[in-house]
Amino acid sequence: MSYSRYAIYYMPHGAFAEFGAHWLGWDPQTGTETKGIALEGLPRPREILTKSPKKYGLHATLKAPFRLAQGKTEAGLMSAFKAFCKTQKSACAGQLQFSNKGGFLSLRPSSPLKQLNQLAADCVTAFDRFRSPATPQDLMRRRKANLTAAQDELLRTWGYPYVMDEFRFHITLMGRVDGSEAEQVTTALEPVLNPLLTNPFTINDLVLAAERQDGRFCILKRAKLLD
Where does the pLDDT of residue 166 fall: very low under 50, low under 70, confident under 90, or very high at 90 and above? very high
Average pLDDT over residues 10-18: 97
pLDDT at site 102: 84
Q: What are phi and psi of 207, to 5 degrees?
A: -125, 135
> How many C-beta neighbours within 10 Å does residue 224 have?
12
Collapsing DSSP states into helix, strand and coil, what is residue 86? coil
Residue 1 has pLDDT above 80, yes or no: no
pLDDT at site 198: 86
Model pLDDT for residues 191-211, shown as the tens digit of each residue? 999 999 988 999 999 999 999
Poorest-pLDDT segment among 28-32, 78-82, 83-87, 101-105: 101-105
**Domain at 5-224, CATH class:** alpha beta
Positive or negative torsion for Cα 36, 40, 43, 44: positive
Decide: 14 and 222 in contact? Cβ < 8 Å.
no
Pairing of the two strands 201-203 and 5-10: unpaired
What value does the mean pLDDT of the chain take?
A: 96
Residue 50 has pLDDT above 90, yes or no: yes
User: Could you tell me how far CA 167 lies from the centroid of its own chain?
Assistant: 12
Pairing of the two strands 217-224 and 171-172: unpaired
Tell me the C-alpha to C-alpha distance, in Å, between residue 66 and each of 37, 90, 160: 31, 24, 9
Which residue type does 39 have? L
% residues pLDDT > 90 (the chain): 92
Contacts of 3 (CB under 8 A, 6+ apart): 74, 210, 211, 212, 213, 220
Cα–Cα distance between 131 and 139 in angstroms, integer?
15
pLDDT at site 38: 86
> How many C-beta neighbours within 10 Å does residue 215 have?
10
Q: Where exactly are the structural domains of the chain?
A: 5-224
Decide: 53 and 163 in contact? Cβ < 8 Å.
no
User: Could you tell me how far CA 165 lies from the centroid of its own chain?
Assistant: 17
pLDDT at site 111: 85
Cα–Cα distance between 176 and 192 in angstroms, integer?
21
Cα–Cα distance between 51 and 29 in angstroms, integer?
19
Tell me the C-alpha to C-alpha distance, in Å, between residue 32 and each of 25, 26, 169, 212: 9, 6, 26, 12
Nearest CA among 156, 164, 140 for reference residue 62: 164
Pairing of the two strands 104-109 and 96-101: antiparallel
Where does the pLDDT of residue 103 fall: very low under 50, low under 70, confident under 90, or very high at 90 and above? confident
Model pLDDT for residues 109-163, shown as the tens digit of each residue? 998 899 999 999 999 999 999 999 999 999 999 999 899 999 999 999 999 999 9
